[in-house]
Chains A and B, each alone.
Chain A
């Protein structure tokens, strides 16, 4: 019988895998670009992870898959990333009552009870506004790396206004700011504000109760973290590795399949 539990989160942009032990401690994790086949990437990540630790497949007692590619991955069970996210965050932050998650093509707000039971959630609808993809497009238009947006936003003197909801139109707004001679930092600050504004609106549907935890790849972007904290008027907790929390939740569910 295996002693480890695997959570696989195949997202639209990145794939994450997390391994926990019987004590629900995270023992390993890995991430990679989902690319064309998230399933293949996930399988590669798992193989590498096992090899690095000198483990073999049989040591994995159960697997739970989540994220957009969840149905493609052979797992014992698939669970939506909302439920997984709540579980992962409740594990890391016992006091968390609201999770704001901004991933590649989704942003969501989850309200939860202690222990991670979801009581309500809201998601962006059919639109990349307020997601990681939105930031990527804007970074590209500015010839910047997404990783550098946060630092740049911090030195903005004033924030440019990006008002279009549509990502494509917002991109042309960015381009017109560029041609009007606005400094890149100011434009980046405006882009971060725009993402934050879209997500902040969603919290009015679910309500916002502290502690508020901010997860997903975008939570690494300090520009968005600051903009969001300011707009919500409350501090945000950010996990050390904000993109893997749903995968962690999935691994914990896998752990639950076997029972305590």
Chain B
């Protein structure tokens, strides 16, 4: 029976909010300080080598993270419609549509949209091919330089040839950035940036691993909310400080045996981007039944430990090897390991209409994971930000049936 279960909030959230508000406020007024401080503004994809930009003192903002904000504030659908009216297909990723919509109709957009125009656009294809077309459209709209890092899809392991190909492009990117900023690359600064990124990533990894505890100190919505700094502020002092604080809090929960979901009975793994407009409602269907999402593949995507060695070579490998750029076999293995490491009883895959590279192979992965682990997996059809794709009743129905299957009656 559905019993009301209390959901434990994190004290760190307040600090997170403060930090993110500051970051967005600073970004918003970039036109006031960017020029005097010689800090150009870049719009950048979530999987791009931001450390390089930070080494050039460039201020990065993330249209994808902004898309997630539009999603949680439930304005994406309106913004998507604006983009659709301008001729963009409904099949285009809803982050791209929301973002383009926010440019066309800033009055409908949170914070009036991202600061614009950007001085440059930086796009890495390791997450999808969509970003290339999206950023090309942006480059046409604003008539600004577009830097592309093309990372070949990895059907197996990273080959020397692929690494070389990406490395050459990184070198070209350095030249382009030197030209755009008018200063040479400061290698020491790049090393410092990379070291801080590593530190952020390490902390994020440790926090996630603390969720192996039973009960798990965090549930998926916590992971989704607290991943914002690893995406947008990775490599900054603030991010490192923040994750230290979060880690302390999470560790304390583990020591006190406190679970994110009261009376945790079922442990699940989540696959794919959050359903931002339903970030609490959706997971409540689970937490009310004592089911906790103890880990996920999405926020775990940022646990990409930087390979050692020469900074550019390390970045070439790290950024090409991210999981979205890898084979279904790799992703199935990843899922299986998560299920085993976190002692999960099942997994839920969000088949996300927006994100094709993430979603298309899920059925293959689901079958393989079920076969090898013996735990059941559910596929839920939705979209990360376009609410028109979310069908409440059918989803509730599937979730209930799934929990009856996992938990027994």
Binding site for B on A (CB under 8 A): 68, 77, 79-83, 106, 117-123, 125-126, 205, 253, 256
Shortest A114–chain B CB gap in Å is 16
Q: Is the CB of B404 within 8 A of A118?
A: yes
- 29 A-B pairs with C-beta separation under 8 A: A68-B393, A77-B1, A80-B400, A80-B401, A80-B404, A81-B397, A82-B397, A82-B404, A83-B401, A83-B405, A83-B409, A106-B394, A117-B405, A118-B401, A118-B404, A118-B405, A120-B370, A120-B376, A121-B405, A122-B379, A123-B398, A125-B381, A125-B391, A125-B394, A126-B381, A205-B363, A205-B367, A253-B409, A256-B409
How far is it, in angstroms, between the C-alpha of A113 and the C-alpha of B401 when the chains are bound? 15
Residues of A near B409 (CB, < 8 A) are 79, 83, 253, 256
Is B404 a contact partner of A79 (Cβ separation < 8 A)? yes
Decide if B405 touches A126 in the complex (CB within 8 Å): no
A83-B1 in contact given A123-B394, A126-B394 (Cβ < 8 Å): no
A106 to B397, alpha carbons, bound, how many Å? 11
Interface of A is mostly: mixed
Enumerate chain B interface residues (CB-CB to A < 8 A).
1, 363, 367, 370, 376, 379, 381, 389, 391, 393-394, 397-398, 400-401, 404-405, 409
Q: Name B397's contact: one of A80, A119, A122, A253 (CB within 8 Å).
A: A80
Cβ contact within 8 Å between A119 and B381: no
Cross-chain contact B394 with A119 (CB below 8 angstroms): no
Chain A residues with CB under 8 Å of B389's CB are 126
Nearest chain B residue, comparing its CB with the CB of A122: B379
**Would you call the interface of chain B mostly helix, strand, loop, or mixed?**
helix
| Bound complex: CA A125 to CA B397 (Å) | 12
CB atoms of B397 and A68 under 8 A apart = yes
With a 10 A CB-CB cut-off, give which of B393, B400, B401 has the most chain A CB atoms: B401
Contacts of B400 in A (CB 8 A): 80
A82: which B residues are within 8 A, CB to CB? 397, 401, 404
Contact of B363 with A121 in the complex, beta carbons under 8 Å: no
Chain B's nearest CB lies how many Å from the CB of A101? 12
A83 to B370, CA, bound (A): 19
Nearest-neighbour CB distance to chain A for B2, whole angstroms, equals: 9
Question: Nearest B residue to A256 by beta-carbon distance?
Answer: B409
Contact B363 A119 (CB under 8 A): no
**A132 CB to nearest chain B CB (Å):** 15
Are A121 and B1 in touch, CB under 8 angstroms? Answer: no
Is A83 a contact of B404 with CB atoms below 8 Å?
yes
In the complex formed, the residue of A with least CB distance to B403 is: A80
Rounded to whole Å, the gap between the CB of A150 and the closest CB of chain B is: 28
Q: In the complex, which residues of chain A have a beta carbon less than 8 angstroms from the beta carbon of B398?
A: 123
Beyond the given pairs A121-B405, A126-B381, A126-B389, 9 more chain A to chain B contacts, judged by CB atoms under 8 angstroms and listed by A's residue number, are A80-B401, A82-B404, A83-B404, A83-B405, A106-B394, A118-B401, A123-B398, A125-B391, A125-B394
In the assembled complex, which residues on chain A have CB atoms less than 8 Å from the CB atom of B404? 79-80, 82-83, 118
